[in-house]
Amino acid sequence: MKAYLMYKDKDFDKDIQVPKNTETIIKDLGLDVILATMANGDELVRDVSTKAMFTTLTNLEDITYRQEIVKDSINNPAVVREIYSVAVEAIKRKREWSFFGISTMSISSLMYSSVSVLQVLLEMLGHLRSIADENAHKFQSAGFARFFEMLRDELSEEYLSEVARTLKDLKFDQGMLVSAELGNYNQGVHYVLRKPFEGLKNHLKWRFTGKICIHPRDENGGDDLTRRQERAINLATNALAQSADHVISFFYMLRDEIAFYVGCINLYEKLQGLGLSLAFPTPYSYTDRRHTFEELSDVSLALLKEGKVVSNTLDMDGKELIFITGANQGGKSTFLRSIGQAQLMMQCGMFVSAKSFSANVASSVFTHFIKEEDKELESGKLDEELARLSEISNLVKPNALILFNESLSSTNEREGSEIARQIISAFLEKDIKIFFVTHFFDLAYSFYETKNDKVGFLRAERNKHGKRTFRILEGAPLETSFGEDLYEKIFGQPLSSKNATI
């Protein structure tokens, strides 16, 4: 049995290795609070959600397939959570048979454990079948439709009843019926486990067959009988153990795949409660170079503030390089985080915090954010920045997305601008899309002068009184970042004041 709830043609691999830069991106984009909200205290949900977010989908059909399942999950949260609970409970109850599958067990003990486990799992499968019968009509996605159809087809009432009867018979409450033949040396051969008595004729035939009784104190005879019995049930035991493994693997797979949708439900309900705009994005192919959105928000900031935050509406279609400049503490970094969050959420089939959002898919996402001063650095901060850039260049592939936040600010404007120009030019030659937050006027203006239609320019808004609105608008780069506004805010007087000292 296959669920196919994460991919339409393969299972989700929870043990897949995430990219090496995962932890860096989580920190830079503030994803930790998003993943914590998705988990809601369940570490499995967090782990699966992290793996899903960083094994990004690049095929548009795959993204749409998963989006439809997320929509179904949001519309039917109780049903999805119930499916998850059934899978978790099945695994928990299986684990209670702590010795199941241990190689040192006797064959008869292994058979008993296998039968008991299968009886528990059969009960859980029956529960899933009931969920399918009662709720399948509520779901619209191709993924859930196929999942419920599989449950109905493979777990019919007749099948479940037949399996239940067989497992009951394998408890051997009425004794074990075994046949054997004599070999060339009068040894027992061809031990076969027979079906229990069926019908009066068969019952009488075996009931009145001659019996051999073993004295209660005959230990050797008892051991010999046990060995013969185990020879008879060996094949059946192997089949039962494999069946139990197969069924429990289905529940593990179902648990892992449904866990992602439980995380999506948790996050959606939380963001909806905060009043944020939520929408399913429209993905485009690598080469389309789309980036248009309405009321895009920084999800992590909204979760931390427990409320709505300033959103942005922009049209960056056709751009392969976007500079973000403007006033210090004007919302540039927050905007950049919202871009990265939305890209990753879109490419794992999730909704985004926007009224509408469309963008081209990226082969991968990288971040290069300014870091706090590290006293343990053996080399200079510029060396550290260049080292991280070198790591990115070793991993990046065409059509990736790189988000730069105040990169190379550890050096002067002239040197930093020249290094940045060379890096940007090299990445653009490899068809890599770039968002670049910078206070280097020389850098941004050098690209502005080219009048290249593929380069966009955004600026953090500042009103005439120096107040930051935290909105990002289209605008040419300015020579100042208005640091004097911050001085006046902190010290209560203009930088030009006679009494101002630094």
Q: Is residue 38 part of a domain?
A: no
Model confidence at 237: pLDDT above 60: yes
Cα separation, 349 vs 65, whole angstroms: 8
9 versus 207: which is more confidently predicted? 9
Model confidence at 422: pLDDT above 50: yes
Residues 306 and 241 in one domain: no
118 versus 341: which is more confidently predicted? 341
Mean pLDDT confidence for 363-384: 76
Residues 6 or more apart in contact with residue 71 via CB below 8 angstroms:
140, 141, 280
Q: Is residue 260 part of a domain?
A: yes
The tokens describing 436, both together, are: 């670049």
Residue 198 CA: distances (Å) to CA of 174, 204, 206, 474? 12, 10, 11, 83
Q: Is residue 23 part of a domain?
A: no
Q: Is residue 485 part of a domain?
A: yes
Evaluate whether 310 touches 470 at the Cβ level (below 8 Å). Answer: yes
pLDDT of residue 256: 96
Percentage of the chain modeled with pLDDT above 70: 81
Residues 303 and 162 in one domain: no
Q: Determine which of 123-127, 184-188, 302-306, 417-421 has the lowest per-residue pLDDT on average.
A: 184-188
Domain assignment of residue 131, given as a range: 1-16+55-177+189-273
Residues 6 or more apart in contact with residue 346 via CB below 8 angstroms:
63, 281, 283, 352, 357, 359, 361
Angle at 332 between CA 327 and CA 333, to 5 degrees: 130
Q: What is the CATH number of the domain that holds 398?
A: 3.40.50.300
Residues 162 and 238 in one domain: yes
The tokens describing 26, both together, are: 């989580």
223 versus 454: which is more confidently predicted? 454
Q: Determine which of 227-236, 341-350, 386-395, 484-493 has the lowest per-residue pLDDT on average.
A: 484-493
Q: Is residue 348 part of a domain?
A: yes
Cα separation, 51 vs 19, whole angstroms: 10
C-alpha R_g of the chain = 32
Residue at a domain's end among 273, 307, 337: 273
Cα separation, 489 vs 486, whole angstroms: 5
Structural domain total, the chain: 2
Looking only at the bridges linking them, the beta strands covering 365-369 and 401-405 are: parallel
Residue at a domain's end among 273, 291, 310: 273
Residues 348 and 408 in one domain: yes
- Collapsing DSSP to helix, strand or coil, 74 comes out as helix
pLDDT of residue 492: 55
Residues 228 and 297 in one domain: no
pLDDT of residue 103: 46
- Residues pairing with 291 in the sheet: 359
Residues 228 and 156 in one domain: yes
pLDDT single digits (tens) 450-495: 999 999 999 999 877 668 789 999 999 988 654 454 445 555 555 4
Q: Determine which of 140-154, 310-324, 381-395, 481-495 has the lowest per-residue pLDDT on average.
A: 481-495
